[in-house]
């Protein structure tokens, strides 16, 4: 994706801001999150996520952690004030593979998102930065903070909640909609609900004492949110709490029979801004719209907003969408608010403000569904309703050559590709390493500290990020032996080496081949068969990875077919290459270079997007720590473009095939006396920005 283009300033480190940051940063966009508070807000707010939100959280790679730390409710129950059940929906999580419902407090969600964001080198949260103004010109947008700092990017997104300072900068106090005639008091209560047969989420249907009672924490904390009349002072509300909880909680407990951990009254609104986009400044989630919390629609709508906005912004940075896709974001997300969020949340609240008798008589279509609560179609219907909140903005992609995008069509969607064994499942998968500034994948693996963005797709060329992050147990050759049809190798190719060998500069590259099955893993032994042990040699080489079949390619077009580069070692057995006794009258290159594992490659394929034509890179080979080869890839007589063009003349270079570009001076054979590789020797080929390929020689 857009590794270096694109910077977004997000205001607000609540769940919406952090999730947007994560979705963007995972796609390579640079993100600064600016938060007025010094830490994550811990006031009691929402806690429930429906199928639409769950889909987005899965895509962001955090769903498993959320499920580990939260709860998966199985039922919703509607009750009279005396606890009698009047409607029930259970088996919510029977379809575990899709959607589903999850409970985790907004605070804990923000912590999970913040932890995931910390893994990414291109995202930063600036705590204690209160935004006082926003600004923009034709090409950028910025925020200015109270402490005098300002941050500038391509776009600014206000995710700073109901009291949004970004919204106020744009629209002043204008926030169309209405304030409701009731307020809600949210409390966190510890009480033995299970003793009374209560579980998961419960709605108390009563005109005066309407409430929601939901299990929100594994440690036994429940959220009890009940309605109150507006205009009461904080003190009145606190004094009235014991009476409210006695009426609402099963068993009519006295205050010494439960513990209130938190108490927080808030006013209810149904409001939405007139525009969610003003040029390069955008609004999302509570900063853009508010609704009553019945059904958790505020959270789910906010999560759906940022999911759509992430797709729009990534599309712009990747050259797949024009900037005006943001008008679609504005139009559709406001429509979703008014058509779905506002209407459903209003009905959810009205439903529990009725008397139970009115509700049963009302023929409320949702409530009537509960008559058939065991019917799988009911779940499908509920899921479908919720999924309306999520809109796929990729449908509005249309490619562009102007605007912000770099416009380049890249052959591969990843920056670096490793094939690895998952620390968690032991499965072999593809990943894009999370580098955090270092490029030493070998060292990260040695320290058990390598994490990757998981890649999946039809094959390695098309593998895209799933959003999941995994820890790596072990890395393998980035392509398996069966994925490499052939390895083309270049003879003498470094100018200094040619000069030193007192040979003329060749007119054309010299080609020999190794079979694909000679591929070996990084950090693995290279087995040396008995007949090859006398004169075993190394050749550190920049290795080109072809990503797309090609023939007769011009030098100009050559990079369009190159997926990337990897470090390679063209392990060679010199006596079988050169000595008449063994090789015959002519030197032969293939037999003594084609033993199994004589072509280790690694640690990662680094894409052309990162390395271009791979010029100017330092290449070294060390044996047992001793520097043997040192070169600069700019010193190649035939560079990458020439090799691809020449080798493809009249013959197809197949996707997955490799071109080893030749080795510089310093192989064992030219030393005096030669220092042939011995059993147990460690050979490390290192190429700047690609990494280290480390192997141990193992005599069989
Ligand atoms: C339960 O967990 C919540 C959130 O982690 C915490 O605020 C609360 O103090 C915990 N309660 C107890 C009794 O441990
Ligand atoms: C919202 O409702 C309006 C009016 O019925 C309709 O034109 C529009 O397409 C709806 N939008 C969405 C996103 O559902
Ligand atoms: C390659 O070039 C030859 C002649 O130079 C031509 O006959 C052949 O069709 C070309 N093949 C491709 C795939 O362009
Ligand atoms: C390699 O050579 C190029 C061209 O002379 C130079 O710009 C580059 O800095 C060199 N790289 C290293 C690692 O020496």
**Residue 360 and residue 86 in contact, taking contact as beta carbons nearer than 8 Å:** yes
Asked whether 188 lines ligand 1 (CB < 6 A), one says no
Domain ranges (residues) in the chain: 7-69+93-178+272-387, 416-476, 482-699
Residue 629 reports pLDDT greater than 70: yes
Ligand 2 pocket test target in 330, 333, 339 with most atoms within 8 Å of CB: 339
Is there a common fold for 7-69+93-178+272-387 and 482-699?
no
What is the separation, in whole angstroms, between the first and last Cα of the chain?
A: 44
Alpha carbons 319 and 410: distance in angstroms, whole number: 11
Asked whether 438 lines ligand 4 (CB < 6 A), one says no
- In three-state secondary structure terms, 90 is strand
- Name which residue sits closest to atom 11 of ligand 2, judged by CA: 335
Residue 437 reports pLDDT greater than 90: no
CA of residue 369 relative to chain centroid, distance = 38
CA of 219 to the centre of ligand 1 (A): 6
Asked whether 632 lines ligand 4 (CB < 6 A), one says yes
Instruction: Report the nearest atom of ligand 1 relative to the CA of 107.
Output: 4
Per-chain mean pLDDT for the chain: 91
- Tokens 């009476």 identify what position? 243
Instruction: Report the nearest atom of ligand 2 relative to the CA of 336.
Output: 13
DSSP state of 354: S
Half-sphere exposure of residue 120: CA atoms within 13 angstroms, side-chain side: 31
Alpha carbons 442 and 636: distance in angstroms, whole number: 26
CA of 340 to the centre of ligand 2 (A): 9
Phi, psi of 238 (to 5 degrees): -65, -40
Query: If you average pLDDT over residues 89-104, what whole number do you get?
Result: 72
Sequential DSSP letters for 420-441: EEETTT--EEEEEE--TT---H
Ligand nearest to C-alpha 304: 2
φ/ψ region of 335 (left if φ > 0, alpha if ψ in -120 to 50, else beta) reads alpha
Query: If you average pLDDT over residues 191-203, what whole number do you get?
Result: 93
- In three-state secondary structure terms, 345 is helix
- How confident is the model at residue 413, as a pLDDT? 85
Alpha carbons 166 and 622: distance in angstroms, whole number: 56
Q: pLDDT grade, residue 660 (50/70/90)?
A: very high
Residue 657 reports pLDDT greater than 70: yes
Residues in the chain: 700
- Name which residue sits closest to atom 11 of ligand 4, judged by CA: 616
Q: Which of 239, 244, 292 is nearest to 268 (CA)?
A: 292
Phi, psi of 515 (to 5 degrees): -75, 150
- Name which residue sits closest to atom 14 of ligand 3, judged by CA: 552
Sequential DSSP letters for 448-510: T--EEEEEESSSTTT-EEEEEEEEEEEEE-SS-GGG--EEEEESS-BHHHHHHTT-PPPSS--
- Name which residue sits closest to atom 3 of ligand 4, judged by CA: 616
Task: Check whether the bond before 697 is cis (ω within 30° of 0).
Answer: no
Alpha carbons 81 and 89: distance in angstroms, whole number: 18
* Superfamily of 7-69+93-178+272-387 according to CATH: FAD/NAD(P)-binding domain (3.50.50.60)
- Tokens 């609402």 identify what position? 248
Lowest mean pLDDT among 221-225, 401-405, 596-600, 653-657: 401-405
- How confident is the model at residue 304, as a pLDDT? 97
Pocket around ligand 3 at a 6 A CB cut-off: 551-552
**Residue 420 and residue 431 in contact, taking contact as beta carbons nearer than 8 Å:** yes
Higher pLDDT pick, 220 / 146:
146
Alpha carbons 194 and 191: distance in angstroms, whole number: 9
- How confident is the model at residue 434, as a pLDDT? 85
- In three-state secondary structure terms, 79 is strand
Instruction: Report the nearest atom of ligand 3 relative to the CA of 649.
Output: 1
Query: If you average pLDDT over residues 674-690, what whole number do you get?
Result: 97
- Name which residue sits closest to atom 10 of ligand 1, judged by CA: 219
Task: Check whether the bond before 673 is cis (ω within 30° of 0).
Answer: yes
Sequential DSSP letters for 532-568: GSTTEE--EEEEEEE-S-BSS--TTTGGGGEEEEEEE
Alpha carbons 645 and 199: distance in angstroms, whole number: 69
- Name which residue sits closest to atom 10 of ligand 2, judged by CA: 335
Lowest mean pLDDT among 212-226, 351-365, 670-684: 351-365
Burial class (CB within 10 angstroms; exposed 0-12, middle 13-18, buried 19+) of 561: buried
Q: pLDDT grade, residue 403 (50/70/90)?
A: very low
pLDDT in tens, 352-392: 999 999 888 887 777 777 765 566 777 778 888 889 999 99
- Name which residue sits closest to atom 10 of ligand 3, judged by CA: 552
φ/ψ region of 473 (left if φ > 0, alpha if ψ in -120 to 50, else beta) reads alpha
Instruction: Report the nearest atom of ligand 2 relative to the CA of 332.
Output: 13
Asked whether 343 lines ligand 2 (CB < 6 A), one says no
Alpha carbons 98 and 80: distance in angstroms, whole number: 32
Query: If you average pLDDT over residues 332-349, what whole number do you get?
Result: 95
DSSP state of 263: E
- What whole-number percentage of the chain has pLDDT above 90? 72
Q: What's the pTM value of the predicted model, to 2 decimals?
A: 0.65
Provide the CATH number for the domain formed by 482-699 in this structure. Answer: 3.90.850.10
Instruction: Report the nearest atom of ligand 3 relative to the CA of 552.
Output: 1
Torsion of CA 244, 247, 250, 255, to 10 degrees: 50
Asked whether 616 lines ligand 4 (CB < 6 A), one says yes
pLDDT in tens, 580-593: 888 888 888 889 99
Asked whether 649 lines ligand 2 (CB < 6 A), one says no
CA of 488 to the centre of ligand 3 (A): 20
- Name which residue sits closest to atom 14 of ligand 1, judged by CA: 219
- Name which residue sits closest to atom 10 of ligand 4, judged by CA: 616
Alpha carbons 451 and 423: distance in angstroms, whole number: 10
Q: Which of 305, 7, 321 is nearest to 156 (CA)?
A: 7
Q: Which of 568, 513, 570 is nearest to 538 (CA)?
A: 570
Asked whether 689 lines ligand 4 (CB < 6 A), one says no
Burial class (CB within 10 angstroms; exposed 0-12, middle 13-18, buried 19+) of 3: middle
CA of 135 to the centre of ligand 3 (A): 56
- Name which residue sits closest to atom 2 of ligand 2, judged by CA: 339
Lowest mean pLDDT among 117-121, 241-245, 389-393: 117-121
Instruction: Copy the structure tokens of residue 144.
Output: 């200015």
Asked whether 331 lines ligand 2 (CB < 6 A), one says no
DSSP state of 652: P
- Name which residue sits closest to atom 9 of ligand 1, judged by CA: 261
> The dihedral of CA 310, 311, 312, 315: what is its sign?
positive
Ligand nearest to C-alpha 632: 4
Q: pLDDT grade, residue 99 (50/70/90)?
A: low
CA of 618 to the centre of ligand 4 (A): 7
Residue 400 reports pLDDT greater than 90: no
Instruction: Report the nearest atom of ligand 3 relative to the CA of 650.
Output: 1
Q: pLDDT grade, residue 192 (50/70/90)?
A: very high
pLDDT in tens, 468-498: 889 999 999 999 999 999 999 998 899 888 8
**Residue 684 and residue 693 in contact, taking contact as beta carbons nearer than 8 Å:** yes
Asked whether 163 lines ligand 4 (CB < 6 A), one says no
Query: If you average pLDDT over residues 654-666, what whole number do you get?
Result: 96
CA of 632 to the centre of ligand 4 (A): 6
């Amino acid at each position: 994706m857009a590794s270096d283009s694109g910077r977004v300033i997000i205001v607000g480190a609540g769940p919406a801001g952090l999730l947007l940051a994560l979705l963007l940063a995972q796609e390579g966009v640079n993100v600064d999150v600016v938060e007025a508070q010094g830490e994550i807000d811990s006031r009691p707010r929402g806690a429930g996520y429906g199928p639409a939100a769950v889909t987005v959280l899965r895509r962001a790679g955090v769903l498993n952690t959320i499920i580990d730390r939260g709860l998966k409710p199985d039922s919703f129950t509607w009750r009279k004030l005396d606890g009698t059940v009047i409607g029930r929906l259970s088996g919510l999580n029977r379809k575990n593979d899709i959607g589903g419902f999850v409970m985790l407090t907004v605070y804990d969600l923000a912590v999970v998102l913040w932890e995931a964001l910390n893994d990414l080198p291109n995202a930063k949260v600036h705590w204690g930065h209160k935004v006082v103004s926003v600004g923009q010109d034709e090409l950028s947008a910025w925020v200015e903070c109270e402490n005098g700092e300002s941050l500038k990017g391509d776009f600014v997104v206000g995710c700073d909640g109901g009291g949004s300072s970004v919204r106020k900068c744009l629209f002043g106090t204008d926030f169309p909609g209405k304030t409701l005639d009731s307020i809600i008091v949210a409390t966190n209560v510890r009480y033995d609900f299970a003793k009374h047969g209560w579980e998961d989420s419960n709605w108390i249907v009563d005109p005066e004492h309407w409430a929601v009672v939901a299990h929100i924490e594994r440690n036994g904390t429940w959220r009890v949110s009940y309605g109150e009349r507006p205009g009461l002072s904080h003190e009145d509300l606190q004094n009235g709490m014991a009476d409210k909880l006695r009426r609402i909680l099963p068993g009519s407990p006295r205050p010494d029979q439960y513990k209130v951990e938190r108490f927080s009254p808030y006013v209810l609104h149904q409001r939405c801004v007139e525009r969610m986009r003003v040029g390069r400044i955008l609004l999302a989630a509570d900063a853009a719209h508010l609704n009553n919390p019945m059904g958790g629609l505020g959270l789910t709508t906010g999560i759906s907003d940022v999911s759509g906005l992430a797709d729009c912004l990534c599309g712009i940075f990747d050259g797949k969408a024009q900037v005006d896709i943001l008008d679609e974001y504005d139009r559709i997300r406001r429509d979703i608010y008014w058509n779905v969020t506002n209407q459903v949340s209003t009905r959810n609240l009205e439903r529990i403000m009725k008397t139970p008798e009115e509700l049963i008589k009302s023929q409320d279509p949702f409530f009537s569904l509960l008559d058939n609560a065991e019917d799988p179609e009911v779940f499908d219907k509920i899921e479908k309703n919720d999924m309306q909140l999520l809109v796929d903005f990729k449908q509005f992609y249309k490619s562009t050559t102007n605007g912000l995008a770099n416009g380049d069509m890249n052959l591969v969607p990843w920056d670096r590709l490793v094939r690895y064994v998952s620390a968690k499942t032991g499965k072999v998968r593809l990943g894009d390493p999370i580098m955090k500034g270092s490029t030493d994948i070998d060292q990260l693996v040695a320290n058990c500290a390598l994490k990757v963005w998981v890649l999946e797709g039809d094959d390695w060329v098309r593998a895209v990020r799933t959003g999941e992050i995994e820890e790596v147990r072990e890395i393998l050759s980035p392509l398996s032996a069966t994925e490499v049809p052939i390895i083309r190798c270049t003879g003498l190719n470094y100018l200094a080496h040619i000069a030193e060998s007192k040979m003329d500069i060749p007119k054309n590259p010299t080609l020999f081949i190794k079979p694909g099955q000679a591929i070996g893993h990084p950090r693995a032994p290279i087995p040396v068969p008995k007949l090859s042990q006398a004169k075993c040699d190394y050749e550190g080489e920049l290795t080109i990875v072809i990503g797309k079949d090609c023939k007769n390619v011009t030098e100009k077009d050559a990079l369009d077919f190159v997926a990337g580069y990897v470090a390679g070692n063209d392990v060679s057995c010199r006596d079988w290459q050169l000595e008449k006794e063994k090789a015959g009258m002519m030197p032969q290159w293939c037999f003594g270079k084609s033993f199994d594992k004589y072509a280790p490659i690694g640690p990662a394929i680094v894409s052309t997007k990162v390395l271009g034509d791979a010029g100017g890179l330092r290449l070294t080979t060390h044996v047992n720590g001793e520097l043997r080869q040192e070169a600069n890839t700019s010193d190649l007589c035939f560079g990458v473009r020439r090799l691809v063009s020449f080798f493809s003349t009249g013959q197809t270079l197949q996707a997955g095939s490799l071109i080893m570009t030749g080795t510089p001076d310093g192989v064992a054979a030219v030393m005096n006396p030669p220092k042939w590789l011995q059993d147990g020797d460690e050979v490390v080929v290192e190429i700047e920005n690609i990494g280290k390929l480390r192997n141990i020689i193992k005599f069989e």
